[in-house]
Amino acid sequence: MAFSTALITLGVSTQAIARDNISIVGSSTVYPFATVVAERFGKVTDFKTPKIEATGSGGGLKLFCGGIGVDTPDITNSSRRIKASEFEMCQANGVTDIIEVLIGYDGIAVANSVDAKQFEMTLQDLYLALAAEVPNPDGSDSLVENPYKTWADINSDLPAKRIEVMGPPPTSGTRDAFVELAMEGGCSTFDFISAMEKSDKDNFKRVCHTMREDGAYVEAGENDNLIVQKLEANPDALGIFGFSFLEQNSDIVQSSIIDGFEADFDSIADGDYVISRPLYFYVKAQHVGTVPGIKEYLAEFVREGTWGEDGYLADKGMIPLDEELRDEVGDAVLNLQALESIE
């Protein structure tokens, strides 16, 4: 859709006056990165500082895809890629020109208080601790309701402490990424479950992605800072949140070692830390030229001094894209290149 057509569709000759700042929603993980860019943008340009709300990746995309016009968000942050179903919802609601911005990478930390012993576990241990159904402890190729109460029940090298893990709800991109990377990774170490991926993919997803609901896994909302505070108060518990929150609270919490690596800048950048994922935000090209400052905000985000190896987002804990990919993504963004489809 041409931008001129988009402006006619918006019908905002008078509405445009109603909002003169960028509206951003979405991922709590991307929130701190977007916030620091927004604050700098507000200081170094003549545009107002964008308003940012942490709604979770799924919640943000639902708002973003709700339609066009100044009563809808201009940008949504996401700690996972937009799903095909969400892209289709956008299209159906007239959000037809979407700019995808891959900004960098993040690790998902499984952390506990620095006042407790550091956990060292495998993805299989993590899956056995948190899945609703697990392989029968008798060794047969069957599934049973999760019987494990303590970490030592799973692995004698782990502490004899009650399993208590605080993490994000289903609307969170962190939760989506965690079940894809950690739960599915641990689940697939069992041959008979791994074989389901080809024979019965729906059942494979159900077995690998369904979290237990007996109190061992506690949904702690979209506020990662709240999880950090609870870990400080309860040294026996673990929490799941983005690497940037681990970095910002390293005096309070520490990463677990998972499959030999803890979540740190180098292990995530090198691909050694297994629970890591890309971070995105999505922009309505149809709002460019209607809501002031969108093009300029994009330009600030993809500056080398912002998202590069020595940029201020790296100082906040974001793992940069490599230089070639930064150039490729940056060129597409500055040219307002719309996303054509999602496989």
Bridge-based pairing state of the strands 257-258 and 120-121: parallel
Q: What are the start and end residues of each CATH 3.40.190.10 domain in the chain?
A: 3-105+278-334, 107-276
CA-to-CA distance for 127 and 135, rounded, in angstroms?
10
DSSP secondary structure letter of residue 127:
H
Q: CATH homologous superfamily of domain 107-276?
A: Periplasmic binding protein-like II (3.40.190.10)
Is the Cβ–Cβ distance between 311 and 304 less than 8 Å? yes
DSSP string across 278-338: EEEEEEEGGGBTTBTTHHHHHHHHTSHHHHSTTSHHHHTTPBPPPHHHHHHHHHHHHTTPP
Alpha carbons 180 and 178: distance in angstroms, whole number:
5
Round to the nearest angstrom and report the end-to-end CA distance of the chain: 21
**SS percent in the chain: helix, strand, coil, step 5:** 40, 20, 40
In the prediction, which pLDDT does 172 show? 86
Element (H, E) at 103: strand 98-113
Q: What is the chain's pLDDT, residue by residue, as a tens digit (343 residues)? A: 444 434 434 444 444 446 899 999 999 889 999 999 999 999 999 999 999 999 999 999 999 999 999 999 999 999 999 999 999 999 999 999 999 999 999 899 999 999 999 999 999 999 999 999 999 999 999 999 999 999 999 999 999 999 999 998 888 888 888 999 999 999 999 999 999 998 999 999 999 999 999 999 999 877 788 898 999 999 999 999 989 889 889 999 999 999 999 999 899 988 899 999 899 999 999 999 999 999 999 999 999 999 999 999 998 889 999 999 999 999 999 999 999 999 7
DSSP string, 171-230: T-HHHHHHIIIIIHHHHTTSHHHHTHHHH-HHHHHHHHHPBP-SSSEEE--S-HHHHHHH
| pLDDT reported for residue 18 | 65
Contacts of 157 (CB under 8 A, 6+ apart): 120
CB 186 within 8 A of CB 123: yes
Going by the DSSP 8-state scheme, the letter that residue 16 receives in this structure is G
74 in Cβ contact with 334 (< 8 Å): no
Options 3.30.70.270, 3.30.300.90, 3.40.190.10, 3.40.50.970; CATH for 3-105+278-334 is 3.40.190.10
Report the distance separating Cα 13 and Cα 256, nearest Å: 54
The alpha carbons of the chain give a radius of gyration, in whole angstroms, of: 21
Pairing of strands 133-135, 143-145: antiparallel
**Looking at the whole model, is its pTM more than 0.85?**
no
